[in-house]
A and B are shown apart, each in its own frame.
Chain A
């Protein structure tokens, strides 16, 4: 068999995996691979900071469902990527990150731009590798893609010593990957499915509580079928938004710390909680002993460690959400004792109760004359995009308002850092999503604080023709921390006042983008219309009411029924 270089082997592996776009930043340790990239048909997107590369790969992955790929150099290139790797890890996003490494002979010598990135990323990757034998390079890359995208997905890092990449090697044919130590359970146990279905038949006040797993396993159709078949109201985690249509009458929106009143009340009063691809995160449960205290709990998750981690589960189903939901749906289709009409009739009082909660305290905000309310901006974005844009967010108030007021009807429309809560995620992720779907409108809902954390990526968006729209809800504060200080620290605003921010309209111009500003309510709609009409990259600067809070709010450590309301 003829031999090829490590660089050529890597490119061949990427092509084999169907990778068309990668995000990266070159350096000495990966210069051979960059040289080879010039001759390939893979599109390389040069970011302005390595964190942006991995976030963009992550956004590309979340929007498309494919594996996102980033390429970073050794040392600082690799460490700059760590925050973004941890972001992907916490949200179970399939990303493969290649990092350069010094030649094998220099490893451990404190060589120039050397860092133990495998050691550093061990706790924030699904798995990682240092390729120390050129003959294992190809197998390692194939295994990395398999691991990243199967089971509970996640980021996988491959550290590439420079001399390994420069070595000559053979390129064996690809065989199906079988790993002795890794065999995720995809199909549900039929006995558990039956138990779960019978519990559903018995319940009077059932609730579906769905998370990012529904989106990762593309199970939204199966989920909708189940909810409608049995008339079960659905609440979603931040990561689960879009897993069930936000405008469906059974949707109660998000639950948890900034969830809807109806969601939190319904979970608290339910007698059966069906958790699907969600992990009972502290932002969802609030005080644990008061979370769903009357409910029997069914938990469908592909990761056994998620089950009974925080909340004791009565009926665990370890499986891919799509497979488990499909099995439940067909159980009901086959079951003689299942009478859809009777079930709907039985759940009627419960749905009426839920509707009453919704009417009593809907998601809302107070209008204040001419002043732009941030929630209003999201409502207008929702209206003018028909709820069909891909929305990325930064982290904080902007993220919560986007989650509350944009109605996500489709999966993979909300890209947000849920687990790690990474400010600076939204812009690079938007670029990744836009490159995956050039014809879709992609909007980064941002705050004036977090947009500055990766604002350098505006140049990337311009260079690669990724005309995303950035909507800055500008209140001159680090708003979420300010809100906590207002509520719990006697308005002592320690380090949350952004006394100096750039003029975002001028800044847009400096990057060759379009800058628009709205300072009164009636300017909001024209600005968004103009932004959506232009082909260019746009920054919209909305001067919003400065001390607006996100409500409802469950103070940290309280029961989710103890909500502060508008």
Chain B
């Protein structure tokens, strides 16, 4: 099963490689990894998407906790959460398809961020399922390149 882990860690040189080294060394998989500074510049937040049964994810969580540079690990898939990913897609846009591409992008509330005589580069943000839908629908038109950020996620704030 897919799990999205939110990891707070010290913003120190080498901290990221402690995490990635742990995954490669222990044979855990990483589907995507996103990391950047938080409001506190001494702390980074990492969103890490991994796959495994409950026992493996428990082990991953404990092993991450054990790293001295790690402050907090949350498996946010355990509760309600919001996740987003951004993708930049360079898609073929020639005379006969330019209008169609624009329509599709519009439906997905994407933006064109770069234009060439034969391509559009479009920016789409959303959940993994939405990204997949866009890619699937643009693929027959001709996708030249895809760059994805990987998922970032946060638990929903309590409502009361």
Binding site for B on A (CB under 8 A): 118-119, 122-123, 126-127, 130, 132, 147, 179-182, 303-305, 308-309, 312
- Contact residues in B for A179 (Cβ distance below 8 Å): 68
8 closest A-B pairs by beta carbon, nearest first, are A305-B62, A127-B68, A123-B25, A304-B62, A181-B71, A305-B63, A182-B68, A122-B21
Kindly provide the distance from the CB of A292 to the nearest chain B CB, expressed in whole angstroms.
Answer: 18
With A181-B10, A305-B62 known to touch, is A123 a contact of B71 (CB < 8 Å)? no
In the bound complex, CA of A12 to CA of B116 (Å): 66
Q: Can you report 15 residue pairs joining A to B where beta carbons are below 8 Å apart?
A: A118-B14, A119-B17, A122-B14, A122-B21, A123-B25, A127-B68, A130-B13, A132-B13, A181-B10, A181-B68, A181-B70, A182-B68, A304-B62, A305-B65, A308-B55
Contacts of A181 in B (CB 8 A): 10, 68-71
A305 and B59: CB pair below 8 A? yes
Least distance between B54 CB and chain A CB atoms (Å): 10
- 13 new A-B contacts, CB < 8 A, other than A122-B18, A126-B68, A312-B55, are A118-B14, A122-B14, A123-B25, A127-B68, A130-B13, A132-B13, A180-B71, A181-B69, A181-B71, A304-B62, A305-B63, A305-B65, A309-B59
Q: Output the nearest chain B residue to A122 by Cβ-Cβ distance.
A: B21
B positions within 8 Å CB-CB of A: 10, 13-14, 17-18, 21-22, 25, 55, 58-59, 62-63, 65-66, 68-71
**Chain B hits for A180, CB < 8 A:** 71
- B21 close to A123 (CB less than 8 A): yes
On whether the beta carbons of B17 and A122 are closer than 8 Å, the reply is yes
Chain B binding surface SS class:
helix
Q: What separation, in Å, do the CA atoms of A343 and B3 have in the docked complex? A: 47
Q: Is the CB of B66 within 8 A of A305?
A: yes
CB contacts (< 8 Å) of A305 on chain B: these are 59, 62-63, 65-66
**What chain B residues lie within 8 Å of A130 (beta carbons)?**
13-14
Residues of B within 8 A of A122 (CB): 14, 17-18, 21
Q: Which residues of A contact B10 (CB under 8 A)?
A: 181
CB of B66, distance to nearest CB on chain A (Å): 6
Q: How far is it, in angstroms, between the C-alpha of A312 and the C-alpha of B68 when the chains are bound?
A: 26
Closest partner residue, chain B, to A306 (CB atom): B62
Q: How far is the CA of A303 from the CA of B67 in the complex (A)?
A: 12
Bound together, the chains give a CA A171 to CA B143 distance in angstroms of: 61
Across the interface, which residues of B come within 8 angstroms of A312, CB to CB?
55
A181 to B14, CA, bound (A): 16
Chain A residue numbers with a CB within 8 Å of B25 are 123
By beta carbon, the residue of chain B nearest A127 is B68
Q: Determine the chain A residues whose CB is within 8 A of the CB of B17 once the complex forms.
A: 119, 122
Interchain CA distance A195-B14 in the complex, whole Å: 41
By a CB distance below 8 angstroms, the chain A residues around B22 are: 123
Q: How far is the CA of A181 from the CA of B69 in the complex (A)?
A: 6
Residues of B within 8 A of A119 (CB): 14, 17
Taking the closest CB of chain A, its distance from the CB of B30, in whole angstroms, is 16
Least distance between A460 CB and chain B CB atoms (Å): 33
**Chain B min CB distance to A45 (Å):** 29
Alpha-carbon separation in the docked complex, A304 to B22 (Å)? 16
